[in-house]
Chain A
């Protein structure tokens, strides 16, 4: 998936921008109500480190490793989570992307 230059510069963007293998730090949730509640329940809490693990063969959803569990989110839903891309993730962890 293409990353926008702007997001690249700031390093902050919606979760769906993480390519498989990349890690990020949750900085905030843009959803409200039940969706926000559910994301918090699953451990998408500000300050959490997570990693995009793999994408579905049809392109969506993407599975994220968060606190030892693997949770799949559709891109539209993953955009409720704002992350800062972890700088080190572009090196070592990105070495094993899917496919």
Chain B
């Protein structure tokens, strides 16, 4: 009966009898869903067909980003105005209490101003993006994305579950790295860990959204048009990161982590209507508040440090200006400047604070410019020689550069290897330097900007 190459072993018979028993119990107690009520096959046909599968994926990503960009704009302005009004009041109170200038500087210009920036720029996009993402998660859409993209992972020599760990990385790369535990093969888990950083995390999204909004709005005028164009730019950056993930995974499975993809299975669960109320609460409390608190906890000391570095003057220049001077040539090679690189280095604890640090160091000491809107950010950056090409280089560097300290620490905890932790920092950094230098060279060659 059975062909010789497929012997049915004793273990098989044991499992088969267990299943028979389970089946007979299930038949007694479970009422099957009538096929007419179950929309899953219909939806699945739409989400995974050759014709509509990929367009729907792109549209979904674009729509979520567009809603985030447009929806975050107004609350961001209101929050910014409120928090900076409070700064004036705080300033006045401290002066009235006779606080020394340095204390006022560290606490108000350093700590408070950075915090206000982080909260007003980050909170609104997070409060919109996370619930949208959690809704998709709850609906059961993510396994379909993994199903659609699997052949690309196979090509790269990686595990198909990597698309799930990447999705997690959209929220937080450290969480994405922990999620790599679902991948059984050590080789494929390492690939997923080392490339997770190429997925833009939530700490970098607001910066991307802010910069693309500022620089796209210089070209496109109407609100809806500019919002859509900015979302398109962000989608482009996200896709660049995904392409990079495949490329680097492919390279790794042919060099450092040689091997072929191993066995794995992917379940496509039935669609469920998400419990909207619970999703909102869960994403706001579990994700938004958690990420924001972490950002705030990191931003406060960083703000103080940056203020001190920016106001400690050695031989006529601040420490930040000295550092920026040294890093200037490397920065300009990549279409950036020294201050940007200093901000990325000082922002190692968390990506959320890189742009605030840059704003602080551009503003320098003493100058009390109110940074309460995206327009004023645009004016400040333009005053420091930024063009759309600088913004593009910045976004690419932000996408590709080394992971934040939390993620690196997580990589070390997961791999227990300083070698792989070093690789997790060195590989993205090398990619960032190469890509940004290439793009900046291209911009120079074509004579733009």
**A residues engaging B (CB < 8 A)?**
12, 27-31, 34-35, 38, 40, 42-43, 45-48, 53-54, 56-61, 63, 67, 69-74, 77, 80, 82, 98-99
The answer to whether B16 and A71 touch across the interface, beta carbons within 8 angstroms, is: no
The answer to whether A12 and B3 touch across the interface, beta carbons within 8 angstroms, is: yes
CA distance A28 to B16 in the complex (A): 11
The answer to whether A45 and B6 touch across the interface, beta carbons within 8 angstroms, is: no
Most A CB within 10 A of own CB, among B48, B152, B160? B48
The answer to whether A35 and B263 touch across the interface, beta carbons within 8 angstroms, is: yes
CA distance A34 to B262 in the complex (A): 11
CA distance A45 to B14 in the complex (A): 10
Tell yes or no: B293 within 8 A of A by CB. Answer: no
21 intermolecular pairs with C-beta atoms under 8 Å apart:
A27-B3, A28-B6, A45-B12, A46-B2, A46-B8, A48-B19, A56-B48, A56-B151, A57-B48, A57-B50, A57-B53, A58-B150, A60-B154, A67-B23, A70-B268, A71-B267, A72-B268, A77-B265, A82-B6, A99-B49, A99-B50
The answer to whether B12 and A29 touch across the interface, beta carbons within 8 angstroms, is: yes
Q: Which residues of B contact A99 (CB under 8 A)?
A: 49-51
The 4 closest A-B pairs by CB, nearest first: A28-B6, A58-B151, A57-B53, A72-B266
Q: Which residues of A contact B98 (CB under 8 A)?
A: none
Q: Which residues of A contact B45 (CB under 8 A)?
A: 54, 98
Q: Which residues of A contact B41 (CB under 8 A)?
A: 53
The answer to whether A98 and B151 touch across the interface, beta carbons within 8 angstroms, is: no
Quick one: closest B residue to A47, CB to CB? Answer: B16
CA distance A40 to B6 in the complex (A): 14
Q: Which residues of A contact B51 (CB under 8 A)?
A: 99
B296 to chain A, nearest CB (A): 41
The answer to whether A30 and B16 touch across the interface, beta carbons within 8 angstroms, is: no
Tell yes or no: B223 within 8 A of A by CB. Answer: no
The answer to whether B15 and A56 touch across the interface, beta carbons within 8 angstroms, is: no
**B residues engaging A (CB < 8 A)?**
1-3, 5-8, 11-12, 15-16, 19, 23, 41, 44-45, 48-51, 53-54, 147-152, 154, 160, 261, 263-270
CA distance A82 to B5 in the complex (A): 9
The answer to whether B44 and A54 touch across the interface, beta carbons within 8 angstroms, is: yes
Assuming the contacts A60-B154, A99-B51, asked whether A28 and B8 have C-beta atoms less than 8 A apart, the reply is yes
Q: Which residues of A contact B267 (CB under 8 A)?
A: 69-72
CA distance A57 to B56 in the complex (A): 12
Quick one: closest A residue to B54, CB to CB? Answer: A57
Q: Which residues of B contact A58 (CB under 8 A)?
A: 148-152
B2 to chain A, nearest CB (A): 5
Quick one: closest B residue to A72, CB to CB? Answer: B266
Assuming the contacts A46-B16, A58-B151, asked whether A72 and B6 have C-beta atoms less than 8 A apart, the reply is no
A48 to chain B, nearest CB (A): 7
